Structures are given as C-alpha cells and as structure tokens.
A and B are shown apart, each in its own frame.
Chain A
Amino acid sequence: MSAHPVSSEQGIAPWIPFEWLVALRFLREGQVQTLFIIGGVAIGVGVIVFMSALLSGLQANFVKRVLTGQAHIQLLPPKEISRVLPLGAHNVLQNSIVQAPLQRTKSIDQWQSLEAQILKLPEINVVSPNVSGSALVVRGEASRAISVLGVDPNLYFQIVPMPEKIVHGNANMTVNDILIGTELAIDLGLSVGDKLRVSAANGNANTFLVSGIFDLGNKAANSRTTFIPLRAAQSLLGLVGGVTSLDMTVRDVYAAEAVAQKISAQTGMQADSWIKTNEQFFTAVNAQTTANTAIRMFVGLSVAFGIASVLVVSVIQKSREIGILRAMGVTRGQILRIFLLQGGLLGFGGSLVGSLLGFAGLVIWQQAEKNPDGSVMFAMKLEPSLILIALVLASVTGLIASFAPALRAARLDPVVAIRG
C-alpha cells in the first residue's frame, strides 16, 4: 500500500524533485499546524476574493446605472466668450465693464467631418449627432416646460437603450413620433397614440404623436425629457442641418476622460467625459477602490505573517532533521528551497481553498440578498483572472514570507542542529 502519492511500492516516484518531496512530507507531518495555516490563508484569500468580486460587481452596477442614461463622451460647441475689443488709436479701453455673453443654442461647425474624424479613432464605438433644446408643451389648460432631444434612433439607441426603458407603446420614431416620460404622461394625461403640440422658444411649433412612454428611473427626468427624430428637432429648434452635440460611447468606459482629452485636442471642441460630468460619483468609486485595496493589503500582510510564523516554528521543530539532512550532504541551497517551497505551497493551497470559499460566499450572498421583486440585487461574476491572480499572489506571498525562516534553516549549524 502506498503511503503517499509520491511513493510507491518501488520507492519514490521518479518525477518528484528532492526538495518538493521533503517539503511536502514536512507539511504532511505538520498535520494540524499545516491545516490551521492553510485555513488561515484560505480565510484571508476568501475575504479578498469575495470582497473584490462584490465591490467590482457593485461598481459595475453603479457605472452601468450611471451610463445607462448618458453618453460616455459628449462633444459640444465651444462656449461663447466675450472679447474685450480695444478701441481708439492707442488701444485704450472705452468701457471697462464686460458682460458675459448669452449661451444661445448653436450648431457644431462642420459636424459631419468631425463625426467622421472621431469615428476613425479606435477607442470609439458609436457616435450619435443630437439636437437639444427647451420647449413648451400645452394640453388643455396644463402646460409643461420640457427638454427636447432630437436623435437618430439607430445611433442613439446604441448609446442609451431606450427600447429597454419603454413601459407603454414602443420606441419607434418615425417623422412625427415623440417619446415622453411617465411623469409627463401623468401630468398631461397622455397615453400612447395621443397627439402633443410642442412649441419652441423661437416660435416654431409642431404636433407629435406619442409612440412610447418611458421610465428613466428618475422622476425629474421622466417629467422633462422627451425624444423626437433628429430632423424634426432640427426644424423645431431652428437648426436645420445642424447638431448641438455629438454623443459617443467608448470601448473602455474608464478610459473615457483620456479619450475625451484626445478628441478635444484634435478638434478644438469641448469634449466632456462621463467621468468629468459625474465627478462626485467617480470620486466615491475611487475611494471605494482605495479602501478595498487597503483591506486587501492588510489581509495579505496578515497571511504573510501567518505563513512566516508557522515556518519559523517549523524550522525550530525540524532543526534536527535539517541537521541530519546536512550531514547526509544536502546543501544549504537545497534546505533553503525546501522551506521556500513550503511557504509557496501553503500560500497556493490556502488560496485554492480560499478561492472556493470566496466563490461559495458569493453564491450564498446572491441567494440571500435580493431585490423586493425577487431578482438578483446586482450581477456579480467571479472572474477566472481574479482566481488566477489570487493563486499567484498568495503563492508569491508565501514564498516571500518563508524567505526569512528558510534562510534561518539554511544557515543552521548542523552540529548544533543535530544536538537539538
């Protein structure tokens, strides 16, 4: 009967190196000590895996919620500024009071060429030209100020998935269709198929047919925001052939600010990323990430000290064996590797169990914490890369933590060690 997988009736398996055999046997002989430290490492790694998956799921959910109603980058025409014009022969100012200019609705110059230029960037997914402005809707004695957003549904719906937000009707947008929010529909007593007259500040007006009622998850947005086709909006707001913004999505949402700066530098236009427009939110996300990193670092440190302390004890316990091995002709380097391997194996074994614990924790959490309607609170995914990183980091931590005890073992005087 074989005593161990690396042993056989013939002796020791020929594939296992000497240092691995001794390291594994020393760990096996440690029994409770080995199990306890593997348990300690497993709990530490389990906490890291669980917290990382939880927080990344939470952040992904936050980001998704934020980005579900807005573009990653919005390109706007530059703000109008007042220029102080020197007058007179000697550049003497005639008036020292400079009034801030009014920001009128205006089109982006040469937006078609800008759109083509931006689309060539590899970071960009979709570009949607939009027209936006304010208008008034009147129905009977009720009136409401609204925000009109003229979009090309084929492009814009790739940025904001409006069909998913429709609660009545559909998201079809033919020439005179309008999508309105649930609050506006209640305030004006509108339902799908009703007509609605929209008047712009410039005096233009048009009658639209309510094709869909949406819920953006925000009461204010549901009472003000409306969507009409791009051409209808251009006509209504007096910007025929023009657009007031280019909305776009990028492949990596977290690189949006860098891409926005690149676009701004290339075009000379104002490019606002979602990171800039949601600065407070992003600061909170960053603070959460920093806190998570700090927790992971401290858990990692405690794991490292746990492994190191167990190996220090092991070196003392095994000092006689170390002396015997040295007397047999085993070199200091081999002794060093035996104890380094033990550290690495403890880290690897612990992280393997810890990853399973973390995964189990996630499954239990998702079962326990649900929305009132029974749906999952938010999707959490245990990335294989996270497991791989945990395994590698824990093994490396074990190796590093075991270095001092291993060095101590290698430096043991064999005479003193044998004497015990």
Chain B
Amino acid sequence: MDKLTHTDWVVELREVCKSFNVGKPNNIEILHNINLQLARGDFCAVMGPSGSGKSTLLNIIGLLDRPTSGQLAINGEDTTQLDDHALTRLRGHAIGFVFQHHHLLSAFTALENVIMPMMGSNGFCTAEMTAHAKSLLDSVDLLPMCHQASGSMSGGQQQRVAVARALAMNPTLLLADEPTGNLDTKSADAVFELLRRVSTEQGTSVLFVTHNPQLAARCDKTIQVVDGRVV
C-alpha cells in the first residue's frame, strides 16, 4: 500500500476495515475497505441505517478506535503506527467531538466545560484559555449563561456548549455523531447552522452523521454507509 503523504487531506482513509472478534470463528466485519478523503473546510453528511457502521467509522476517524486493517491519516500524519499516548495527543489537538447526547461534564459550569480540553492539554488554566472559552460561548450565544451549571441548561443550550467545547482546541476536524438527534426542530436547526458557520468561517472540516435528509441536503456532500461500505 502506498504511503499516506497527501497533506491536503484533513482525513484520509485507505482500505480501512474493522472487524470485531466475538469468538472463533465468528469474526464480524463492520467496515469493509473504506476509502474516504476530506479536504479542509468540507462539510460532509454521513447517512445510513442504524447498525450500518457510521458510529464505528466516526470512532476510527476520531482515533477512539483502531482499524483492523488499512490506513488512516489525520492532517497528513499516518496514525497506523502511533501509540495510545500519541493518538490521544493528536485527538486532543486536531479533532473535536459532538455527540448525540451532549455529554457535558455535570460537575462543571458551561465555561469550565469549554475550558476543560485546553486545560487537559496544558495542565493548568490560563487567562487566555478563559478568554477563548468565553469567545466561543459568545459565538454560540451562551456567554450570559457561562457560569451556569451545565445540568441546568436546556437540551439545545447544552448541545451548543458541547459544540463550543469541541471547538476549544481549534480542531481541523469536527466529528458530529447525530448532534441534532435529540433536539427539537428549532434547536436542531440552530446547532446545524452553528456547525455550518464554523466550517465556513474557520475552515474546519465537519463529518456530520444524521438521519435527517433535509439537513443532509444542506451539506456540501453526503456519503452513504450501507452494511459497512461507503456507497
């Protein structure tokens, strides 16, 4: 297989397979020979029925899981040979996550939730981090609520905080796994527009998993995952 050296791609997958061993001889292959490239600023919808492998694909691209075979590069860096520590560091600096459920840390305020990724990377909190977190919360119209406990916010507000948190490290790639799935239409639209704006203004590449064809239609491109294959 050729070496992955194409630095123009934010994400590049080549012949990626993922299988789970559920006891011999039952090897279940979830993803089959996935090839995918995402350029800077791409806003790509990922669609497909439940169980088709969308979340597994996102976990692999998000460096939370390793492919069984094939190659994956993030910002031109081949991740195949990286150890767990290096993968974690790369994930922290290059990738932001927004989940279907907001998954905010309930022990922290909205502002602190946004500061967390930066503090985790640096070890301590600095005034610059706080200012950056506030500007992110301002961009999602939640600055007045920044000191509020995350648990006391509405679902839409929590998801916007989650988006702000995902952007805290200025990632080149944002992975959104059905971020609007639990929201009403108005909140879902607001979150989608927020992601769209981030992609346009900051050049962040976004992989947006959704079951909503209307939202998918508003993305730059759409990939369909069916039975572990991109079609």
Contacts and interface: CB of A to CB of B under 8 A. Distances in A.
B23 interface: no
A10 B109 contact: no
B13 interface: no
Contacts of A331: 85, 88-89
Given A3-B149, A18-B123, A327-B64, A332 B84 contact: yes
A26 B64 CA distance: 23
Nearest to A9: B147
Interface in B136-150: 147, 149
A324 B103 contact: yes
B125 A12 contact: yes
Interface string A13-27: 111111001100110
A414 B64 contact: yes
Given A21-B119, A327-B97, A28 B147 contact: no
B106 interface: yes
Interface string A320-343: 110011111111111000000000
B130 to A, nearest CB: 3
Most buried by A among B123, B124, B125: B125
Interface in A147-181: none
B116 interface: yes
B68 interface: no
A11 B88 contact: no
A328 B126 contact: no
Nearest to A10: B130
B91 A327 contact: yes
B41 interface: no
A402 B64 CA distance: 26
B123 to A, nearest CB: 5
Contacts of A333: 85
Interface string B32-69: 00000000000000000000000000010010110000
Interface residues of B, number: 41
Interface string A217-248: 00000000000000000000000000000000
B105 interface: yes
A14 B126 contact: yes
A321 B149 CA distance: 16
Contacts of A326: 64, 88
Secondary structure call for the B interface: helix
Nearest to A414: B64
A28 B107 CA distance: 8
Contacts of A414: 64
B92 A329 contact: yes
A393 B112 CA distance: 34
Contacts of B147: 1, 3, 9
Contact of A12 (B88, B89, B130): B130
A29 B106 contact: yes
A143 interface: no
Given A29-B106, A334-B120, A329 B127 contact: no
B125 A14 contact: yes
Contact of B124 (A1, A18, A28, A328): A18
Contact of B125 (A9, A11, A29, A329): A11
Interface string A23-44: 0011011000000000000000
Interface in B59-118: 59, 62, 64-65, 84-85, 88-89, 91-93, 97, 99, 103, 105-109, 111-112, 115-117
Contacts of B88: 326, 329-332
A325 B62 contact: no
B64 A18 contact: no
A214 to B, nearest CB: 70
A279 B11 CA distance: 81
B117 A329 contact: yes
B169 interface: yes
A418 B92 CA distance: 16
Contacts of A12: 112, 115, 119, 125, 130
B133 interface: yes
Q: Which 7 A-B pairs have the closest CB atoms?
A: A329-B92, A11-B130, A25-B107, A12-B125, A29-B107, A328-B117, A330-B120
Given A3-B147, A16-B124, A26-B107, 6 more contacts: A11-B129, A14-B126, A18-B119, A21-B125, A22-B107, A25-B105
22 contacts: A3-B149, A7-B109, A11-B111, A11-B130, A11-B133, A12-B115, A12-B125, A13-B125, A14-B125, A16-B125, A18-B123, A21-B119, A28-B107, A326-B88, A327-B62, A327-B64, A327-B97, A329-B92, A329-B93, A329-B117, A330-B88, A331-B85
Interface of A: 1, 3, 7, 9-18, 21-22, 25-26, 28-29, 320-321, 324-334, 414-415, 418
